[in-house]
A and B are shown apart, each in its own frame.
Chain A
Amino acid sequence: MAVETALRAREPMLPGGAHDRTWAWVLLALAAVAVAARVLHPMQISWLRNMLIVFGSLLIEAMPFVALGATVSAAIEVFVPASSFAKIARLPRAAQLPVAAFAGMAFPVCECGSVPVARRLARKGLSPAAAVTFMLAAPIVNPVVIASTFVAYRGRDSQALMVAGRFTLGLVVAMCVGWVIGALRPDGLLRADAAIDDPDDVEEPRARRFFTHLSGDLVFMARFLILGALIAAAIQTFVPASVADRVASLPVLSLLAMMFLAFILSLCSESDAFVAASFTSFGPSAQLAFLVFGPMVDLKLAALYIGTYSKGFFRTVLIVVAAATLVATLWVEVWWG
């Protein structure tokens, strides 16, 4: 009821109660874009062509995973009772975090899919610490990602290190972030509007509720994914990748450079190992930094985090993931050489 009231309060009505006609302007704007795309030949402008193709490719790859995540999220909302999560929520934080991190092994999608699921888990009563730990660990520790890492490094001396290191560091860094989030934000993980964008009526049949949540999650996440992909495409268009290559042989800077690259490239965790393996001028520890940092923090995720979670969340995640990944991969560098 409160949700419905809040939504209605936000609905702009024209004087006299007439419905808002903004949709007509939106249709007109989209039609204008379509005509411009045909008539003005934007693909003949080199930088614009590059940006639009990269923008499209990031979205075409990520959106199916967001859709899959939203499907799981809607199923959790409609078919899994809140009491199921109450047991986990009652555990001490030290026990919740490993449970949430290892639960990620059962969710074989990339990082875009885990965000809507974590959002739903938080709304269903799972503690912020556990929800965030799950969200960050799942895209790294699930079997598909581990298998793709194994295949990407086949025939290399570093294969075992990369597979085991990615799995272990993924768990450890995710739990570090979860612990910090739990300490700093025991409540209020989600942004206010992220909690009310899909009105639910528990008296409706389950199928109706499922599709309400599915479309609500999809539209909500898609907006931020589009923004993130646009920023990533713009940076890839105007910033030469050679900025990272110059520091490949420097001990700490090579790790930071690979984390920076992972942030900009915004790749899917299910196939980023093939890209990491191709950076042959960087050592295994730098490649590991790429593989652990990228699925937790990148440009498209930044937009999703900022749109979904409360103020300061992204900053906290960025700092803790970067610090934990840097320290862990430095240890790997010392140990592996």
Chain B
Amino acid sequence: MSAITGNVATRVSPVRIAAAIVLGAWGVMFWMLWLTGRTYLYLSSRTAWVVPMGAVIMSIAAIGRLATARSARQEVLGRRQAWSLGIVALPVVLVLALPPSALGAYSVGKRATFGGSAIGATARDVTGPLDFVDIGAAQSFPAAMTQLEARAGEPIALEGFVTHKEGAPLDEIVLTRYIVTCCVADATIAQVRVVGLPPGAYTDDEWLRITGAVYPVGREVLVAADSAEPIPVPEQPYLTP
């Protein structure tokens, strides 16, 4: 493993090789997130550009470290360094090994009151085809709610996951969608009450496509359902305002 470079004997450093492997693993994870579209399980479309940036920098760092793995000094991969590198590699193992998942019904309770006051980064005209971001904007901005109220009874199609409100009638669910501005850490929620469904037919976290008519009631938005169709979790489960 040792070689003579000029007048100096060099050998491959296990410390440098291990660092290169860990940095390379991060690079692989970023490439995988980017190429498979799994970025959107963690980030909004507004910030998704950091993933290819991370992929490039981490890959260059790993390749560079590998190319400069020979050292004139004897470097030993000690206990502390080994565990440090293991900790740095741990998130990569988790992201790659865990099945793709999105936030579900559990988080709604933790973020509900955020959502009550805080959806829609900027004032939004609720004049085009209605979607969940419009609903969130209407629940945040009085002007947007006025615009939505003027459209009461219009048809609407929404995709979201099922949650239930305690004490609600059996034919009613709450259809919820997370709105992510930056990363999942800032996720807020938009919700509509959906009525007129078969009693007890849907369970928490099930994804549905609902069509019906929209009716704003106070700060709440109600949808009288015409149809409810189970759908798989979308590739982009979070919306960006």
Which A residues contact B (CB, under 8 angstroms)? Answer: 4, 10-13, 19-20, 22-23, 25-27, 29-30, 33-34, 37-38, 42-43, 46-47, 49-50, 52-61, 63-65, 67-68, 70-71, 152-156, 199, 201, 204, 207-208, 210-212, 214-216, 218-219, 222-223, 226, 232-233, 236-237, 239-242, 245, 248, 265-268, 270-272, 274-275, 277-281
Contact = CB atoms under 8 A, between A and B. Distances in A.
A20 B23 contact: no
A271 to B, nearest CB: 4
A268 B82 contact: no
Which of A56, A268, A272, A274 has its CB near the most chain B CB atoms (within 10 A)? A56
Interface in B1-53: 14, 16, 18-20, 22-23, 26, 30, 33, 39, 41-43, 46-47, 50-51, 53
Contact of A19 (B30, B76, B141, B181): B76
Contacts, number: 243
In order of increasing CB-CB distance, the 9 nearest A-B pairs are A64-B54, A46-B106, A242-B113, A26-B86, A57-B184, A37-B97, A211-B64, A57-B42, A281-B117
B97 A34 contact: yes
- Where chain A touches its partner, the secondary structure class is helix
Interface in B171-186: 181-186
B106 A49 contact: yes
Interface residues of B, number: 82
Nearest to A266: B185
A152 B73 CA distance: 52
B103 interface: yes
A4 to B, nearest CB: 6
Interface of B: 14, 16, 18-20, 22-23, 26, 30, 33, 39, 41-43, 46-47, 50-51, 53-54, 57-58, 61, 64-65, 67-68, 72-73, 76-80, 82-91, 93-99, 101-107, 109-114, 116-123, 140-141, 181-186, 188, 241
A148 to B, nearest CB: 9
Which of B43, B78, B104 has its CB near the most chain A CB atoms (within 10 A)? B78
A133 B43 CA distance: 30
Nearest to B25: A30
B47 A71 contact: no
A265 B65 contact: no
A219 B94 contact: no
B2 to A, nearest CB: 15
